[in-house]
Chain A
Amino acid sequence: MSLPSRLDSQQRQGAAQDAAPDERPILQVRNLNKRFGDGCAHCLPAHVEHPGNRCPRCGSVQACIDLNFDLYPGEILGVVGESGSGKSTMVRSLYFDEDATSGEMFISSCKNGESNLLAESAQQKRYIRNHVMGMVYQNPYLGLRMSYSSSGNIAEKLFAADHFHVGRIRERAAELLGRVEIPLGRMDEPPKRFSGGMQQRVQISKALANNPPLLLLDEVTTGLDLSVQARVLDLIRSLRRELKVAMVVVSHDLGVIRMLADRTMVLRQGRIIEMGLTDQILEDPQHAYTQLLVHSLL
């Protein structure tokens, strides 16, 4: 299968350094690969397509294959694709939840953007994730400690980012929870007593506690009712506007992507099959799979 022409022209332009000099990506990902399983001599090389990307001999699965992209400050990059296409594995690898099998990742505010963060030690990775990244999982149980207080959850993130002044931590927790419209009277209640939408908002405020320049959002609005969804979307947009946070937004909801993303990446079977301006992806999709996806939109 040949790549659509749009991707080709992008790669050419990337090579020519066409971007304006004042623009420097905050996040660069190069040839990111993630394989589940040890792999064996019979595994097909990554560039060969085969059903399910699974090696029949050893059962290893190639979840992400040669992912390449840049993210700029204040930009929202949408990631769409069917389930099993590697969306979550990608963001989890970026957040070091999964160890990428190979590839490189650079963040401009870490070590001057020159060091491959995927090759750092576990301590360094923890430091980086606590200081410059925030992650919001689809399932709040992954991102929050449900039986701690909500303010305690935020304090945990701040402790991890080397803030130790209890008074200031409390102030910050109140400020953040206020931002996501959690009533201040309830800031010391554990999230398990909250509704799903509130839990999601607590999770967002926890992810934002250390003022990260980079936020990863994995299906944040999936499973929320529409009124809460609208509120979370508005929150995400105002965060981008006011704090200039760059975000990777994973969603299978194209409506959410249309509202949020400047650019969109389409994943299928672990590969980027198309990438471009969001309205272009939605209105003029080139790849057969993207057309199918877009035309299935209600």
Chain B
Amino acid sequence: MLEVVNLTKSFELHVSQVGKVYPIQGLSFHIRQGRFLGIAGPSGIGKSTILKCIFRTYMPSSGEVWYDSLHEGRVDLAQADDRQMIRLRERELGYVSQFLKVIPRVPAVDIVAERLLPLGWSQDDARREAERMLERLRIPRKLWQAFPATFSGGEQQRVNLARAFIVRPRLMILDEPTASLDRETTSAVIEMLQAMKREGTTMVGIFHDWDVMEQVADEILDITLSGGGTMRPKPAAAGAQAE
């Protein structure tokens, strides 16, 4: 489903005269359809960089990121042109970051529903689906018409998750989606991730909370050395095989 070959990402900082930084060097791994790959490692080692290279928020410096697309065949995301990336992001790739960045003064339900409109949903259907999603993520009904800027961190994060989940992406990229959530909401998110996995969604994610990682991940990719080095997939602890 996703095969990363020899991925290298360097940043050349022209402004601050730091020179070149190499967070990721020669990384290879793959994820099979419907599996959940967790990425582990200390902070600053380049975990988010890997995810951003897959979503093409970062342009990989070299290497290949092969993705088996439903609509476009086998695509090297490191080489895909911008329009192709836009189409893939609209229909197949989901990305959840730690922050919610949206247009101010748009109600939460519309922010979530908005994602479905380019896929041909009617305004009403999209809104109903968005409400279902918000309900599932336990956002109080009275907040649905409120602006997310007024929400607490955890609530914003759930809107963020709803926005990503609602399009049912084939490949979900999760960058610490549970970082600002309390225990109950975290378990709601875990349930949702597990439900999505049962539906066949492939996922790759970073979780700082090891409990969460154990509950959702099938395999874990350990990132060992900072500033490059090798990485190897290893089977998860026994707890991950609960299903």
Task: Report which B residues bind A (CB closer than 8 A).
Answer: 11-16, 52, 56-59, 72, 79, 81-87, 101-106, 114, 117-118
20 sample A-B contacts, Cβ–Cβ < 8 Å, listed by A number: A10-B81, A13-B79, A13-B81, A14-B81, A20-B83, A20-B84, A20-B87, A72-B83, A227-B105, A230-B103, A234-B105, A259-B103, A263-B82, A276-B82, A283-B52, A283-B58, A286-B12, A286-B59, A295-B15, A295-B16
* The 6 nearest A-B residue pairs measured at CB: A288-B14, A230-B104, A230-B105, A284-B58, A13-B81, A279-B57
Q: How far is the CA of A263 from the CA of B87 in the complex (A)?
A: 12
Closest to B149 in A: A230
Of B81, B86, B106, B117, which is within 8 A of A262 by CB?
Answer: B86
- Contact assessment for A9 and B56 in the assembled complex, using a CB-CB cutoff below 8 Å: no
Task: Report which A residues bind B (CB closer than 8 A).
Answer: 6, 9-10, 13-14, 18-20, 23, 72, 74-75, 226-227, 230-231, 233-234, 237, 241, 258-259, 262-263, 275-277, 279-280, 283-284, 286-288, 291-292, 295
Q: How far is the CB of A268 from chain B (nearest CB, A)?
A: 13
Q: How far is the CB of A179 from chain B (nearest CB, A)?
A: 15
Q: How far is the CB of A256 from chain B (nearest CB, A)?
A: 10
Closest to A284 in B: B58
Q: How far is the CA of A287 from the CA of B59 in the complex (A)?
A: 13
- Contact assessment for B59 and A280 in the assembled complex, using a CB-CB cutoff below 8 Å: yes
Beyond A234-B105, A241-B118, whether A284 also contacts B59 by CB under 8 A is yes
- Contact assessment for A291 and B84 in the assembled complex, using a CB-CB cutoff below 8 Å: no
Specify which chain B residues have a CB less than 8 angstroms from the CB of A237 in the assembled complex: 103, 114
Q: How far is the CA of A234 from the CA of B52 in the complex (A)?
A: 27
Specify which chain B residues have a CB less than 8 angstroms from the CB of A287 in the assembled complex: 14
Q: How far is the CB of A117 from chain B (nearest CB, A)?
A: 22
Q: How far is the CB of A212 from chain B (nearest CB, A)?
A: 20
Specify which chain A residues have a CB less than 8 angstroms from the CB of B101 in the assembled complex: 258
Specify which chain B residues have a CB less than 8 angstroms from the CB of A23 in the assembled complex: 83
Beyond A19-B81, A23-B83, whether A284 also contacts B103 by CB under 8 A is no
Beyond A230-B104, A231-B105, whether A18 also contacts B56 by CB under 8 A is no
Specify which chain A residues have a CB less than 8 angstroms from the CB of B106 in the assembled complex: 234
Q: How far is the CA of A292 from the CA of B14 in the complex (A)?
A: 8
Q: How far is the CB of B123 from chain A (nearest CB, A)?
A: 9
- Contact assessment for B79 and A9 in the assembled complex, using a CB-CB cutoff below 8 Å: yes
Closest to B89 in A: A277
- Contact assessment for A241 and B81 in the assembled complex, using a CB-CB cutoff below 8 Å: no
Q: How far is the CA of A75 from the CA of B11 in the complex (A)?
A: 29
Specify which chain B residues have a CB less than 8 angstroms from the CB of A227 in the assembled complex: 105
Closest to A293 in B: B15
Specify which chain B residues have a CB less than 8 angstroms from the CB of A280 in the assembled complex: 56-59
Q: How far is the CB of B109 from chain A (nearest CB, A)?
A: 14
Query: A10-B82, A227-B105 known; 4 other A-B pairs, CB under 8 Å?
Result: A9-B79, A19-B83, A277-B85, A292-B14
- Contact assessment for A234 and B103 in the assembled complex, using a CB-CB cutoff below 8 Å: yes
Specify which chain B residues have a CB less than 8 angstroms from the CB of A262 in the assembled complex: 86
Closest to B14 in A: A288
Q: How far is the CA of A84 from the CA of B164 in the complex (A)?
A: 39
Q: How far is the CB of A215 from chain B (nearest CB, A)?
A: 18
Closest to A282 in B: B57
Specify which chain B residues have a CB less than 8 angstroms from the CB of A283 in the assembled complex: 52, 57-58
Q: How far is the CA of A231 from the CA of B147 in the complex (A)?
A: 13
Specify which chain A residues have a CB less than 8 angstroms from the CB of B104 in the assembled complex: 226, 230, 233
Q: How far is the CB of A120 from chain B (nearest CB, A)?
A: 28
Beyond A259-B103, A283-B52, A283-B57, whether A18 also contacts B72 by CB under 8 A is no
Specify which chain B residues have a CB less than 8 angstroms from the CB of A292 in the assembled complex: 14-15
Q: How far is the CB of B103 from chain A (nearest CB, A)?
A: 5
- Contact assessment for B86 and A277 in the assembled complex, using a CB-CB cutoff below 8 Å: yes
Beyond A241-B118, A258-B101, A295-B15, whether A18 also contacts B81 by CB under 8 A is yes
Specify which chain B residues have a CB less than 8 angstroms from the CB of A74 in the assembled complex: 118
Specify which chain A residues have a CB less than 8 angstroms from the CB of B105 in the assembled complex: 227, 230-231, 234
Q: How far is the CA of A14 from the CA of B81 in the complex (A)?
A: 8
Of A277, A286, A291, which is within 8 A of B82 by CB?
Answer: A277
Closest to B106 in A: A234
Specify which chain B residues have a CB less than 8 angstroms from the CB of A18 in the assembled complex: 81, 84
Specify which chain B residues have a CB less than 8 angstroms from the CB of A277 in the assembled complex: 56-57, 82, 85-86
- Contact assessment for A241 and B15 in the assembled complex, using a CB-CB cutoff below 8 Å: no
Specify which chain B residues have a CB less than 8 angstroms from the CB of A9 in the assembled complex: 79
Specify which chain A residues have a CB less than 8 angstroms from the CB of B56 in the assembled complex: 277, 280
